[in-house]
Amino acid sequence: MEVTHQVLQQLVNGISLGSIYALIALGYTMIYGIIKLINFAHGDIYMVGAYIGFFAITQAHLSIVPALIISFVVTGILGMVVEKLAYKPLRHAPRISVLITAIGVSFFLEYTSMYFVSPTPRTFPAIFGDVAIEIGGIVINGQQMLILGITTILMIVLTYIVHRTKTGKAMRAASFDTETAQLMGIDSDRIISITFGIGSALAAVAGVLVGVYYNSIDPLMGIMPGLKAFVAAVLGGIGILPGAVVGGLILGIVEAFVSGFVSSTFRDAAAFAILILVLLFKPTGLFGKNTKEKV
């Protein structure tokens, strides 16, 4: 009984953490899928999203839902601007140049934010009282339910956009082969821009949720979750949307179980060991198909 109880509680902990990773990983994977770029600035976009949500709540005195929407929209636009200024001019440059630019954008966002909002961590106001439900000794609190609820809704919406709308169809076509898609009359630049917008907006939601859940944000908060989300995306098969979600959840649950049943000291080691194992044994990830490149 005691053990099952622990397993279930760790499962709850792991799923809430994993949902956050999943939201960030979705953006990673969408962007990779379409322009084959590992956008290392993605974790910092998430941080900017958290700050926008923070200022919407503390300065404009909005409640959580409008704050999420504002952060979603503003950060989405920021993602598009970043793409336009930093990546679009390099569309035909070697991939390594774009990757290095992404690292540059990451530092730029981190230290510009640090200049404007100061490096001191900010505390999110408590917008939830102590709402918590207890089922047989397993505690699930309001923030965890909020995270789960919002993550699920966003994933349904995203699946709908990608599979049922014209833009989604264009996105899928562009990710399959950008040039052919262009020949078929798809405006690839517009589609890439939209992909960055949606990916960044999802990261922003994750940022605000983390602020609400853990109560504290700072300009360097994006580094670790960014790396973890990258692991999640690779685990699921980079470029594949359901893969990012499943990868994020698995990573969150693994971290919780390693902390809970092995030792918390090994938690991060476990996360990165997964990355190494996936790259060694199944580089295409859980959902990846083995496509052979023709030489």
Partner 1 sequence: MNFSKKSLKLMSVIAGTMLMGSVFAGCGDEGSADEIKVGANFESTGNVANYGQATLDGFNLAIKEINDAGGVNGKKIKVVAADNKSEASEAVNAATKLISDDKVKVIVGPAVTANVIAESQVATDNKIPIIAPDATSPDVTVENGQVKPFVFRSCFIDPQQGSVMAKFAAEKLKAKTAVIYVDNSSDYSKSLGKVFKEKFEAAGGKVLMEEAFLAKDQDFKAALTKLKTANADVVFVPAYYEEVGKIVKQARELGFKQPFLGTDGWDDSKVADIAGADALNNTFFSTHYSDKDAEVKGFVDAFTKEYGHAPNVFAALGYDAGKMLADAIKRAGSDDPEKIREALEQTKDLKVGTGTITMDKHHNPIKQAVILENKNGDRVMVAKIMPDAE
CB closer to partner 1, 77 vs 114: 114
The least distance separating partner 1 from the CB of residue 22, rounded to whole angstroms, comes to 14
CB closer to partner 1, 160 vs 261: 261
The least distance separating partner 1 from the CB of residue 121, rounded to whole angstroms, comes to 6
Map residues 202-221 to x or -, x wherever contact with partner 1 holds by CB under 8 A: --------x--xxxx-x-xx
* Residue 58 interacts with partner 1 (CB under 8 A): yes or no: no
* Residue 10 interacts with partner 1 (CB under 8 A): yes or no: yes
* Residue 293 interacts with partner 1 (CB under 8 A): yes or no: no
* Residue 116 interacts with partner 1 (CB under 8 A): yes or no: no
CB closer to partner 1, 130 vs 293: 130
* Residue 257 interacts with partner 1 (CB under 8 A): yes or no: yes
Map residues 72-111 to x or -, x wherever contact with partner 1 holds by CB under 8 A: ----------------------------------------
The least distance separating partner 1 from the CB of residue 200, rounded to whole angstroms, comes to 20
DSSP for the chain, written as a single string: -HHHHHHHHHHHHHHHHHHHHHHHHHHHHHHHHHH----TTHHHHHHHHHHHHHHHHHTS---HHHHHHHHHHHHHHHHHHHIIIIIGGGTTS-HHHHHHHHHHHHHHHHHHHHHHH-SS-EEPP--S-S-EEEETTEEEEHHHHHHHHHHHHHHHHHHHHHHHSHHHHHHHHHHH-HHHHHHTT--HHHHHHHHHHHHHHHHHHHHHHHHHHHSEE-TTTTHHHHHHHHHHHHHH-TT-HHHHHHHHHHHHHHHHHIIIII-GGGHHHHHHHHHHHHHHH-TT-TT---PPPP-
CB closer to partner 1, 28 vs 213: 213
* Residue 255 interacts with partner 1 (CB under 8 A): yes or no: yes
* Residue 121 interacts with partner 1 (CB under 8 A): yes or no: yes
Contact range with partner 1 by CB under 8 A, out of 100-108, 198-206, 254-262, 284-292: 254-262
Question: Which phi and psi (to 5°) does residue 116 adopt?
Answer: -85, -40
d(CA 193, CA 212): 29
Applying CB under 8 A, which residues contact partner 1? 2, 6, 9-10, 13-14, 17, 118-121, 123, 126, 130, 132, 134, 139, 141, 210, 213-216, 218, 220-221, 224-225, 255-261, 263-265, 267-268
